[in-house]
Homo-oligomer: A and B are copies of this chain.
Amino acid sequence: MNQPKSGIIPEDRLGIATDLYQITMANGYFEMGKKDEIATFDLFVRKLPKNRSYLVVAGLEQCLSYLTNVNFTDEDIEFLEKKTSFKNVDKKFWDYLKNFKFTGDVWAMREGSIAFGNEPLITITAPIIEAQLIETYLLTCYNHQTKIASKASRCVDAAKGRKIIEFGMRRTDIGAATRGARAAYIGGALGTSNVMAEALFDVPSYGTHAHSWIMSFNREEDAFAAYFKVYGEETVALIDTYDTIQGAKLAAKLPGKIKGIRLDSGDLTELSKKTRDILNQNGKKETTIFASSDLNEYTIEEMLKNDAEIDIFGVGTELILSKDAPSIGGVYKLTQIKKDGKKIPKLKLSKDKSTYPGEKQVYRMYDKNGKFDKDLLAVRGEFDEQYEPLLIKVISKGKLVYDIPTIHQIREYGLSQKEKLPTEYRKTNANQNYAVEISSELEKLTGEISKKYGEDKK
């Protein structure tokens, strides 16, 4: 009998975690004698999704792990050799892939950084085949984690000091869920329901019981009593299986302190007020109210406007899938080729998809109160003396030169950075663009290259 396939990504085969055209191009570059050309690529988000004025950067650490380990196994090469489209590929290319290592330089924003449209989150300078083959994996990391960290940050702001826990594991694939929990924590969530995320990333995991616990007992009160017997003060009673008010009354009568009750259906705002009263009347003023059920930053904001008595919001589907903006559209674009020691800046002129050329830096300027004032997209080194450069060198000639922070340090850094972002950009419906200016040197370079391309075409 055939064994079913797990479909879990094998960690030692990440070379083939890429789009086919990267390998097709790699062979093309190899064949055309371009393998010693040095390419620079920027990864950035062109235009932020609706209602968003900033991003919380996440995904770098997984890229660094990948860049310092990526390789092709014999199994991978055998697999590729068999593809029809590679039937004429020279054996030398397969030998090249067998010895493949990433040897380039990488500049990146720290995870937790606040970033804006058109700003490179990571910049790669490497032999063109290397820089090309790694594109897809880098995009998977940033597009996924930066999206979720940014969404979490919005939910955290909407909660105005109440807590957010990421609860969406079941709504997406296991890997996306687990890295997503990491990203949500970076974005300011208190933790996750996902145990794997705690095991792999040290993101605190939370959870008590489900409706099935309640339903497995003959009576709701028996289910609560049993849970209380096992977990005591740690109990968070899920009270909506049959009737929320009835459930609250039963939970309130448990003989001792309990950590919380949880609402999971109905009008959460109204129910939170009523159940708060029930708890208070039964000497359970310190018992917290936890709410879940298709929550997002918009509903949380609305509920708190209506004085919902909710202490912790469990945000699931909407957070892990960033449901109102399922894609942030990060792209990876060639900005320079270095050939025979000469730098040739590159750009793309496609409609609505044009790019800025050359090796760049993002500089951040502050106002007198220490708040973010504006950013400057500039030529690398242009303002190193005057302003804060956001891109720092993390890999040099293939070697890690960056001290990896803990996840807790990343989260703290992110939260502290966001405090410097003026509040108008932190609203749930913030659509105004933060000022990202183009430096005069970068404008000049862009103009020159565009003009040059125009003249070539004449």
Contacts from A to B (Cβ < 8 Å)? 1-11, 13-14, 16-25, 27-29, 31-32, 34, 37, 39, 41, 61-62, 64-66, 68-69, 76, 79-80, 83, 85, 88, 128, 132, 135-137, 139-141, 143-145, 167, 169-180, 182, 193-196, 198-201, 205-213, 215-216, 218-219, 226-227, 229-232, 234, 240-243, 246, 264-266, 317, 321-323, 326-327, 329-330, 332-334, 337, 346-353, 400, 403-404, 406, 453, 456-457
How far in angstroms is the closest Cβ of chain B from A439? 22
Given contacts A21-B209, A195-B23, contact A351 B4 (CB under 8 A): no
* Shortest CB distance A394–B (Å): 9
State whether A169 and B194 are in contact (beta carbons under 8 Å apart), knowing that A4-B68, A13-B199, A25-B213 are contacts in the complex. Answer: no
Q: A152–B439 Cα gap in the complex (Å)?
A: 44
CB pair A140 B172 closer than 8 Å: yes
Bound complex: CA A234 to CA B139 (Å): 27
B215 near A348: Cβ-Cβ < 8 Å: yes
Contacting A143 at CB < 8 Å: which of B172, B350, B351? B172
Chain B neighbourhood of A200, CB < 8 A: 5, 7, 9-10
In whole Å, how far is A228's beta carbon from the nearest beta carbon of chain B? 10
The 8 Å CB contact of A350, one of B17, B213, B241, is B241
Select one of B25, B88, B327, B334 contacting A171, CB under 8 A: B327
Q: A8-B11, A170-B139, A174-B140 are in contact. Are A41 and B212 (CB under 8 A)?
A: yes
A4 and B404 in contact (CB under 8 A), knowing A17-B174, A144-B172? yes
CA distance A330 to B212 in the complex (A): 16
Interface centre among A11, A27, A216 (most CB of B within 10 A): A216
